């Protein structure tokens, strides 16, 4: 990929924070990490992984610690791929990923693995087009070809066809994609592969880190992508709904499998999950690449916590199980405020049953 890595991650985070504060908007908090020495000395419960659910997990931790004195939890939003690697290495107490661990990855963990779906959300296509007075609607084959590099200008006739009431600029489309190993990338490319045989079999395919066709700007984490779109006129990128919502980014209405243009919101996300909730297998690894339903939003994903089957410290294991149980029940009420889709009740029940098996 001929990526345009124009700003280093740290510099971007600082610059975006200054820009957003100057505009009176709430900045998206960049991910923070412990250095090796601090991680070794930390005696509480440490987790790391996906940026997709990070705002919700931060809220859970804040609320839980407020009502459970003596509990010390920390979560590092480092991306799904890095979270899985830290979990496999055993340097965290739990991981988090929007791409459930594969059988090959699970086989590397001697203590065994429990995949616990903790929340769900939508991957949206957020964009930055000044003066576009109206909702941008994108057909399935159109947004596919935008990210395949086949549609490169905003006033392309195929985009204009479903947006006759909008004046689209004669401007080059700038893609913003993830540079880090990402479950959000997995969910998005899994959807593209589900709707396009060409993408699946002869294109980039599915992955947490892929070689995007053509040129693209890259950013780290959902917060990085959202922030980059915010300051880049003519851009479009894939990002978790809550991050786009917090920055006030416009989001495209996408054509779903029923041929309907659907706005990303709580209702369309819930309808997408409802269409597949009964299909959740016993290992709790279920992908939703192209949900059915006339009003279902087409790109949704579960997000999993990764827990060991066995913990050497019984006290820590009990504390972690209590926290996750709280998140699956009381914690679900906070999801909507951050743009997440609450889990269907049958999925919560299955997750609690799996959690009870942890030793």
Give the tens place of pLDDT for each residue, 39-49.
556 789 999 99
Residue 292 domain-assigned (yes or no): no
Tokens coding 39:
């991680």
139/258 same-domain check: yes
Q: Are residues 87 and 130 in the same domain?
A: no
For 201, the 3-state DSSP assignment is helix
- Residue 253 dihedral angles phi and psi, to the nearest 5°: -80, 125
Same domain, 275 and 136: yes
Cβ-based neighbour number of residue 215 at 10 Å: 14
Given this model, what pLDDT does residue 41 score? 65
The answer to whether residues 138 and 265 belong to one domain is: yes
Number of domains in the chain: 2
Domain that holds residue 166: 122-279
Q: Please tell me whether residues 225 and 150 are part of one structural domain.
A: yes
**275 and 126 in a common domain:** yes
335 close to 342: Cβ distance less than 8 angstroms: yes
Q: Rounded to an integer, what distance in angstroms lies between the CA atom of residue 123 and that of residue 187? A: 8
Both 133 and 213 in one domain: the answer is yes
Rounded CA-CA distance 170/154 in Å is: 6
Q: What is the mean pLDDT of residues 209-234?
A: 96
Question: Do both 68 and 208 map to the same domain?
Answer: no
195 & 116 share domain: no
Is 315 inside any structural domain? yes
- Would you say residue 289 lies in a domain? no
Same domain, 181 and 313: no
pTM of the predicted protein model: 0.88
Residue pLDDT, tens place only, 106-145: 999 999 999 999 999 999 999 999 999 899 999 999 999 9
Q: At 138, which helix (H) or strand (E)?
A: strand 137-138
Q: What is the pLDDT of residues 304-354, one digit of tens each?
A: 999 999 999 999 999 999 999 999 999 999 999 999 999 999 999 999 999
pLDDT at 43 (0 to 100): 81
Is 16 a domain residue? no
In this prediction, residue 200 carries a pLDDT of 97
Mean pLDDT over residues 73-83, rounded? 97
Mean pLDDT of the chain: 90
The enclosing domain of 259 has a CATH number of: 3.40.190.10
Last residue of a domain, one of 279, 310, 331: 279
Work out the pLDDT band at 35, boundaries 50, 70, 90: very low
pLDDT number for residue 10: 32
CA distances for 186 relative to 81, 162, 237, 268, angstroms:
10, 28, 14, 21
Spatial contact of 344 and 245, defined as CB atoms under 8 Å apart: no
Contact 126, 236 (CB under 8 A): yes
Looking at the fold, whether 71 and 200 belong to one and the same domain comes out as no
Confidence of residue 38 (pLDDT cuts 50, 70, 90): low
Q: Check pLDDT > 50 for residue 75.
A: yes
Q: Is residue 23 part of a domain?
A: no
Question: Are both 189 and 137 inside the same structural domain?
Answer: yes
The answer on pLDDT for 254 being more than 80 is yes
Banded pLDDT at 23 (limits 50, 70, 90): very low
Residue 40's pLDDT is 55
Residues composing the chain: 359
């Amino acid at each position: 990929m001929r990526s345009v890595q124009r700003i280093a991650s740290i510099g971007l985070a600082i610059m975006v924070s200054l820009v957003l504060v100057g505009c009176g908007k709430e900045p998206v908090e960049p991910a923070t990490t412990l250095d090796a020495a601090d991680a070794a000395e930390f005696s509480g419960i440490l987790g790391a992984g996906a940026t997709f659910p990070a705002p919700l997990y931060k809220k859970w931790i804040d609320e839980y610690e407020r009502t459970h004195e003596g509990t010390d939890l920390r979560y590092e939003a480092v991306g799904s791929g890095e979270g899985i690697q830290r979990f496999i290495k055993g340097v965290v107490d739990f991981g988090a990923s929007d791409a459930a661990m594969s059988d090959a990855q699970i086989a590397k963990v001697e203590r065994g693995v429990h995949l616990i779906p903790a929340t769900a959300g939508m991957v949206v296509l957020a964009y930055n087009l000044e003066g576009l007075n109206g909702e941008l609607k994108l057909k399935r084959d159109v947004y596919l070809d935008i990210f395949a590099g086949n549609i490169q200008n905003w006033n392309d006739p195929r985009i204009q066809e479903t947006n006759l009431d909008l004046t689209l600029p004669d401007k080059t489309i700038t893609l913003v994609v993830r540079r880090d190993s990402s479950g959000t990338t997995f969910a998005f490319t899994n959807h593209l592969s589900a709707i396009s045989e060409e993408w699946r079999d002869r294109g980039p395919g599915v992955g947490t880190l892929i070689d995007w066709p053509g040129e693209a700007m890259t950013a780290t984490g959902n917060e990085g992508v959202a922030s980059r779109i915010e300051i880049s006129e003519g851009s479009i990128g894939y990002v978790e709904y809550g991050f786009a919502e917090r920055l006030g980014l416009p989001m495209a209405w996408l054509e779903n499998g029923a041929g309907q243009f659907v706005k990303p919101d709580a209702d369309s996300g819930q309808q997408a999950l409802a269409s597949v909730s009964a299909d959740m297998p016993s290992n709790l690894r279920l992908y939703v690449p192209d949900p059915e339903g006339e009003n279902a939003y087409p790109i949704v994903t579960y997000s999993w916590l990764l827990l060991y089957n066995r913990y050497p410290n019984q006290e820590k294991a009990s504390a972690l199980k209590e926290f996750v149980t709280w998140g699956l029940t009381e914690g679900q009420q906070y999801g909507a405020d951050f743009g997440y889709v609450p889990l269907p009740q049958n999925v919560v029940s299955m997750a609690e049953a799996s959690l009870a098996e942890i030793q």
